[in-house]
Structure 1
Amino acid sequence: MPTPTEVLQHGLDLLLAKDMPGFIALYADDAVMEFPFAPPGAPQRLEGRRKVHDYLIDYPSNIDIHEIIDVNLMTTTDPEVIVAEFTARGLMVAPGTPYQARYIAVLTIRDGRIQHYRDYWNPMLATGQITGWETA
């Protein structure tokens, strides 16, 4: 059974490869994905792999990630919970503008599958108010 750190690292590799079906397959059937800082109109909580699929499947059509850097994975006192901090760089596809975002995520990974993913990202990136390069 892969460790939570191995599952997350594999997930980042799949995101970089734009293999969204592979990335989505890492989620448990009853997985929950949360976005505590989601802007108005964007989902704050997705329940079940089907909802995660619908949310993520077209991700590369919107944001073309070229690199994932500054990855810092931290274990917790709960062996199923890890905290990930990383930067994704690439392009916002529609306007063709540079994209850079610092992500902090808290994940619960059970039996080799993502059970819970809480993503603390900057909602101003989604609204176009900033590109992420301003904070680099």
Structure 2
Amino acid sequence: MPTTPRDLLDGFLRAMLDFSPDALADLFADEAIYEFVFWTPHRGPSQRYDGREEIRAGFRAAWGAVSRPPLTGLGEVCVHETTDTEVLISEGEMNAVNHATGRPFTSRFVLVLRARDGRIVHLRDYSDVLRTAAGLGRLTQLFDQVHAESAS
């Protein structure tokens, strides 16, 4: 089991690439918080998962709805250490492919990870949801969902 924030980040990125909700959730503390900073309608009103099992269930549901994982690898990833030894900031790129068109795309992210006692206790995910939606050919669908949500 990873023990340092850097080890946990490496495990997190590996679980993302492997599309493994169990490996991902197992990196988190029982009462961890996973926040999605940029709002999207399909996540509902809370935009976060509270606790390891909600993280596991949320990613199982999201990834289970995908027939083939779009992620193909990592681009450049830069890790910034902070003065707080529990916290690190990572910025990078995920490479992916739209399986319907065969077109590759890259999406950027920033993660703020807080770890304690060998587990992630809080993660803020600043993923580029617009670039991802565009790459997957779902930008119009996303805008329609945002419009419908704002009209209600």
TM-score normalised by L of structure 1: 0.81
**In the alignment, which residue of structure 2 is the partner of 1:131?**
135
Task: Measure the CA separation in 2 of the matches of 1:19 and 1:74.
Answer: 25
* Aligned alpha-carbon RMSD (Å): 2.4
Residue 116 in structure 1 maps to residue 119 in structure 2: no
Task: Measure the CA separation in 1 of the matches of 2:38 and 2:15.
Answer: 24
Aligned residues: 130
Structure 2 alignment gaps of length 5 or more: 137-152
TM-score normalised by L of structure 2: 0.73
- Answer 1 or 2: which has greater strand percent: 1
Task: Measure the CA separation in 2 of the matches of 1:115 and 1:39.
Answer: 23
**In the alignment, which residue of structure 2 is the partner of 1:18?**
19
What are the equivalent positions in structure 2 for 1:9-88 lying under 5 Å apart?
A: 9-43=10-44, 44-57=47-60, 58-59=62-63, 61=66, 63-88=69-94
After TM superposition, the structure 1 stretch with the greater mean CA deviation from structure 2, 6-15 or 20-29, is 6-15
- The alpha-carbon deviation at position 19 of structure 1 amounts to 3.0
Contact 1:35–1:118 (Cα < 8 Å) also in 2 = yes
Contact 1:63–1:92 (Cα < 8 Å) also in 2 = no
Q: What amino acid is aligned across from residue 9 of structure 2 in structure 1?
A: L
Contact 2:19–2:69 (Cα < 8 Å) also in 1 = no
Q: What amino acid is aligned across from residue 79 of structure 1 in structure 2?
A: T
Percent identical pairs in the alignment equals: 30
Q: What amino acid is aligned across from residue 65 of structure 1 in structure 2?
A: L
> Aligned to 1:2, what secondary structure does the other structure show?
coil
- The alpha-carbon deviation at position 99 of structure 1 amounts to 3.9
After TM superposition, the structure 1 stretch with the greater mean CA deviation from structure 2, 114-123 or 52-61, is 52-61
Larger radius of gyration: 2
Task: Measure the CA separation in 2 of the matches of 1:22 and 1:114.
Answer: 13
Task: Measure the CA separation in 1 of the matches of 2:63 and 2:33.
Answer: 18
Q: What amino acid is aligned across from residue 82 of structure 1 in structure 2?
A: L
Task: Measure the CA separation in 1 of the matches of 2:106 and 2:135.
Answer: 7
Residues 14/123 of structure 1: CA separation in 2 closer, same or farther (3 Å cut): closer
